[in-house]
Amino acid sequence: MARITAKLTTGMVVHLSNGRHEWLGDEPASSGGTDTGPDPYELLLGSLAACTCVTLSWYCKNKGWPLESVSASYDFSRIHAEDCEDCDIPDRGFIEQITSNVHIEGDFDDSQRKRLAQIAQRCPVHKTLAHGVEFEDHASFGPG
């Protein structure tokens, strides 16, 4: 189980912690923040990129395959539904899309390359985002 705590500090700066590590999130100046850390979508994409790289590394290590390096970049965008030929929900105004570019280096044969391309799409964070997640939301209020 993963747990992150977040506390708004100054302006739009958010202090994040998992109990072992601490980091900041923020918004760019163009959105009213001070750009002292990644914005929420960049944090999400960072989680996906890290998970992809670690999953591929783990897989190659367990298979004894000669992975030299792996890198991943992800882009988040919103596409207008009418621009999307494959959209199955036409009444929504837009479709949120993540585009990946995973680069894997090593001396692999064709079947290994094919399998690694599949594994890149099967890291736990990718699966969660692709299949959706159920939310159980709670809010509490202090004196005001």
Mean pLDDT, the chain, as a whole number? Answer: 92
What's the pLDDT score for residue 95?
84
Is residue 85 over pLDDT 80?
no
Average pLDDT of the segment spanning 64-74:
98
Confidence of residue 81 (pLDDT cuts 50, 70, 90): low
The string of pLDDT tens digits covering residues 89-128 is 555 577 889 999 999 999 999 999 999 999 999 999 999 9
Instruction: Output the pTM of the full model.
Output: 0.85
Model confidence at 1, in pLDDT bands (50, 70, 90)? confident
- For position 83, what pLDDT does the model report? 55
SS3 per residue for the chain = CCCCEEEECCCCCEEEECCCCEEEECCCHHHCCCCCCCCHHHHHHHHHHHHHHHHHHHHHHHHCCCEEEEEEEEEEEEEEHHHCCCCCCCCCCEEEEEEEEEEEEECCCHHHHHHHHHHHCCCHHHHHHHHCCCCCCCCCCCCC
Whether pLDDT at 75 is above 90: yes
